[in-house]
Amino acid sequence: MRHYFGTDGVRGRVGEFPMTPAFAMKLGWAAGKVLGAEGVKEVLIGKDTRASGYMLESALEAGFSAAGVNIALVGPLPTPAVAYLTSTFRADAGVVISASHNPFYDNGIKIFGQGGFKLTDVQEQEIEAMLHIALEGGMECVESEALGKARRIDDAAGRYIEYCKAVLPSALSLKGLKIVVDCANGAGYKVAPAVYKELGAEVISIHDQPNGVNINAECGATSMRNLCGAVLAHEADLGIALDGDADRLMMVDHTGSVVDGDELLFLLAKDAKQAGYTGGVVGTQMSNLGLEQALNALDIPFVRAKVGDRYVMEQLKATGWRLGGEGSGHLLSLDHASTGDAIIASLRVLTSLLNQSNTLFMAKQGMHKLPQVLVNVRFKASEADPLTSPSVQQAVQVAEERLGNRGRVLLRKSGTEPLIRVMVEASDASLADGCAQHIAKALPQA
């Protein structure tokens, strides 16, 4: 059992435990002690554009230094950029201070191991055990001569931009394409527009003025309305939406319609198959049934992992496959990145479109999504588990009887927010909505 690490690191509301300076310092110390025992000598730290990132960065820096681990600071950069730079700078570990798609008043801490891959469950459990010692007053500082030293890396963004640009084959160019990029006022606000411009595209950049509190605010991959409107207003070929830390990708075709992670994963899998890829695709419990059906029609194997890109990665490692992702836009292409990377995933989609002289609208036609309704119900973590309530279980049973073989139900706790997620998928949208609302009403009573 992990008490602090969720599906994507430690996360919470800033100023409330565990997102406090004191906790961050002790987490840095605990991670430094555990990873230091594994040979870690330097950790690279990046962050998104939240105002609280500076506070947490300083606290983490103090904790790692007290554990005798050196620190390299890269400033605001996408999560996948930190994963990449952790590898290229030969750092032994990487840390991202970000709450991804959450509002500005939340923040989080994610840790990468060597090579830019997220830590294993066992490593996180070991860090939590050491963290418990620190929280109980057992945090000890190394001798002065052994303290970790801090340095800043000034050319980190430029290195990542060049890395992304190399994903587009040298024979191709984005010249002639008009692209609207929604940066979510987040970590990709500088690097994302630069990548597409330097590859030749005409770029209209929106929500690229972060002020510390406007990250993900009615923009980005979790709020697509503005991007859809901008694509139509500018008569653009397509739109690209990042989330706050630029590890999620959503797109918009020239008609102003959203193209989600499931549809993009289908496009990438279809293109890989045509290029000779013989492996399968890993989705999650939330992946639309239409994705599974479309991949089956192409004779591409498909398996579902638990929700969270870390679990998609685990399945990819277990199967030896190279492609996976989530409908929310986390897309993993292990031939190009060690974690979900919105910019790189978008370039893979653009490569496919250019090679086939196709539009995004036409390319997605091979997959037909089933109506899927998602209802979020907030709960207090201190309360009893509502999923075990007889009234909730009865509501689920009633919904499943109504659906029969025409759909499915999934209830799960969010790994990043105090929410119960109710997902219902059905061949009929009204049926899916009715079943989801029926279950959602039973949750507060529980």
Positions at the binding site for Mg(2+): 100, 243, 245, 247
- Residues recognised as catalytic: 100
Please give the single-letter amino acid code of residue 379.
F
DSSP H helix total and E strand total for the chain: 14, 18
Helix or strand (DSSP H, E) at 150 = strand 150-152
Residues contacting residue 219 through CB under 8 Å, at least 6 positions apart? 182, 184, 185, 206, 207, 226, 227
| Residue 180, φ and ψ in degrees, nearest 5 | -100, 130
Q: What does the alpha-carbon distance between residue 412 and residue 405 come to, in Å, rounded to a whole number?
A: 21
Count the Cβ atoms, other than its own, within 10 Å of residue 282.
29
In whole angstroms, how far apart are CA 294 and each of 129, 268, 366, 425?
Answer: 44, 12, 7, 16
**Parallel, antiparallel, or unpaired for β 302-305 and 281-284?**
parallel
* Closest to 188 in 3D by CA, of 46, 315, 17: 46
* Closest to 76 in 3D by CA, of 187, 220, 155: 187
